[in-house]
Structure 1
Amino acid sequence: MNNTNYVNVNSKPVKKIVIAVVIILALLILGLSSFTIVDPGHTGVVVNLGKVSSTVLEEGIHFKVPFITQVVQVDNRVLKTEVESNAASKDLQTISTKVSINYRVNKSASADIYKNVGTDFTNVIVNPAIQECVKSIAAKYTAEQLITNRETVSSEMEDSISQKINPYGLTIEVFNIVNFDFSEEFNKAIEAKQTAQQEALKAEQDLARIKVEAEQTIEKAKAEAEAYNLKNAQLTDKIIMMEFIDKWDGELPKVASDAGAMFDVSSYIGASVDEPDSGNTNNNSTESDNQ
């Protein structure tokens, strides 16, 4: 006799169990398919049987029709892209540029941009717009102007790119020209020009300094001449004689000369040397005659 135990799947209890498990699994799958979660910083674009709806879901959990509704998430956070390209300036100089922009997708435009472009809008819209606008703006300026008017050039490029991407619901947050690279020949020419300008400025400064020093020398000479003339105008014979008397030690100069005196000091020393009294002289003469 065969004692092997086996389950009879055709029995009613077993069938009920299998059916119950299937129903539970189906309900579980159906339940999970009825909800979707939109990640933070994203919006959910509702697609019903392949048709894009204008309904946009905010971040969080949402109910949807299982197997009929699909929710595509669009990133609305600030995105960054960098584009390198070559352009020609107005004076036909080759310029290598690197531009960086931070941009975002407007939430209200999520459905339209997904419908018209898809999710790869960076490569489809943004990067080509950057390359085209950089080349068109660079062609308006000479290579030197691109350097000296960098702020103006940057503003024009940003405005031009905005006009290209704004209709798609994309907004520029930050725009930067990372670099402008020129040919080696142009860099050498710029360096030579700057050197010449610096040397010219130095020569101009030296000339100005020499001019100032010359003017100072002239003014100093004029002042000295005026002082000398003023001193000579005040120097009279009387002043010279008074200076001589003040410094005279009472001895005549021991110098061989003719009988004439070097200076007529009689009129200046009369007050300091007593002259003989004329009355006494006459008396003495009388007495001598009487004898």
Structure 2
Amino acid sequence: MKNRITLIVTATLFFILTSIAFVSCNERIDAGYEGILVKLYGSEKGIQDVSLVTGRVWYNPFTENVYEFPTYVQTINYEAFTVNAKDGSVFTVDPTLSFKVKDGFSPVIFKKYRKDIKEITETTLFNYIKDAFRIEFNKYTTDSIISNREKFEFAIQTNMGTLLDKEGFNLEQMTSGIQYPETITQAINAKNAAVQQAMRVENELKIAQAEARKLIVLAESEAKANELRKMSLNNLLIQQQFIEKWDGKTAIYGNAPAFFKNVN
């Protein structure tokens, strides 16, 4: 009787544990993800008979595992790092990468790296970015980077896009966040200040020249007016103006009174 009870209890526990394992050994693949079923044993050691799966996936936890790879665009802001230019100047790069897994390439990516997408993003892709910047920086001097900034960044993005495409990713966008060395920044600021000062002086000179021309025009106008007034003066005009302004009293000039003063 005792053995029978033990057998029943054991069978019951086994059934409960099996049911729990069966219920818990499933994974739902949400929209925006690709699911891959990975064999933990076999000749391929982790990628044998892989097929993309969607919806709810049942698997044996002892011999299989399920990974989810996001297929939507992801944006990663990486930590800043330093790179040397061709002439030895040290630049700081603070990159931001936007990318997505190419549709249907999740098994290929997993087979190569044996990692989930988060680990691949934080390690492998970050190393690719560092290498891409180092290679391109070694082609340029400091002056050429500053003078050809757009061309420089376009070359890095093009090379990075080609590299990611081979690895099963699509590059959506990448920004470098390049920071110039402090000495270069100071030189650029000094140059900009000098240019602004020169423009300010030039504007002040133009204003002074305009004011001088204005005074010349005014002086010329005044001189011309005086000349015209001088030409228009004669004895009759002067006498007429005298009469118009006379207050009715006889003016005395010298010892004898005179109605009009000789203006010659």
Kindly tell me: are residues 135 and 222 of structure 1, through their superposed partners in 2, closer, same or farther at Cα, counting changes over 3 Å? Answer: farther
SS of 1:95's equivalent in the other structure is: strand
Map of 1:282 onto structure 2: none
Deviations 1:78-118 (A, max 9, x none): 25240422223455422122112233323421111111123
In 1: Cα distance, 2:61 partner to 2:135 partner: 50
Q: Which amino acid aligns with 2:220?
A: K
Could you state the TM-score of these two structures normalised by the residue count of structure 2?
Answer: 0.75
Map of 1:269 onto structure 2: none
Spell out the pairing of 1:1-291 with structure 2 (5 A cutoff).
7-9=1-3, 13-14=4-5, 17=8, 20-21=11-12, 24=15, 28=19, 31-32=22-23, 35-38=26-29, 41-48=32-39, 49=42, 50=45, 51-58=47-54, 60-64=55-59, 69-77=64-72, 78-89=74-85, 92-119=88-115, 120-139=119-138, 143=142, 146=145, 153-183=152-182, 185-248=183-246, 249=248, 251-256=250-255, 262-263=261-262
Kindly tell me: are residues 16 and 192 of structure 1, through their superposed partners in 2, closer, same or farther at Cα, counting changes over 3 Å? Answer: closer
Kindly tell me: are residues 236 and 129 of structure 1, through their superposed partners in 2, closer, same or farther at Cα, counting changes over 3 Å? Answer: farther
Confirm or deny: 8 A CA contact 2:91 2:178 kept in the other structure: no
Kindly tell me: are residues 217 and 254 of structure 1, through their superposed partners in 2, closer, same or farther at Cα, counting changes over 3 Å? Answer: closer
Question: How far is 1:255 from its partner?
Answer: 1.0
Deviations 1:51-97 (A, max 9, x none): 34452123x31234675543233344525240422223455422122
Q: Which amino acid aligns with 1:71?
A: V
Kindly tell me: are residues 229 and 144 of structure 1, through their superposed partners in 2, closer, same or farther at Cα, counting changes over 3 Å? Answer: farther
In 2: Cα distance, 1:173 partner to 1:80 partner: 12
In 2: Cα distance, 1:143 partner to 1:123 partner: 29
Question: How far is 1:150 from its partner?
Answer: 5.3
Q: Could you say which structure has the larger radius of gyration? A: 1
Kindly tell me: are residues 191 and 109 of structure 1, through their superposed partners in 2, closer, same or farther at Cα, counting changes over 3 Å? Answer: same
User: Structure 2: 5+ residue runs without aligned partners?
Assistant: none
User: Structure 1: 5+ residue runs without aligned partners?
Assistant: 1-6, 265-291
In 1: Cα distance, 2:107 partner to 2:36 partner: 6
Q: Which amino acid aligns with 1:135?
A: R
Confirm or deny: 8 A CA contact 2:75 2:96 kept in the other structure: no
In 1: Cα distance, 2:171 partner to 2:150 partner: 17
Kindly tell me: are residues 55 and 250 of structure 1, through their superposed partners in 2, closer, same or farther at Cα, counting changes over 3 Å? Answer: same
* % identical equivalent positions: 22
Could you state the TM-score of these two structures normalised by the residue count of structure 1?
Answer: 0.69
In 1: Cα distance, 2:137 partner to 2:6 partner: 78
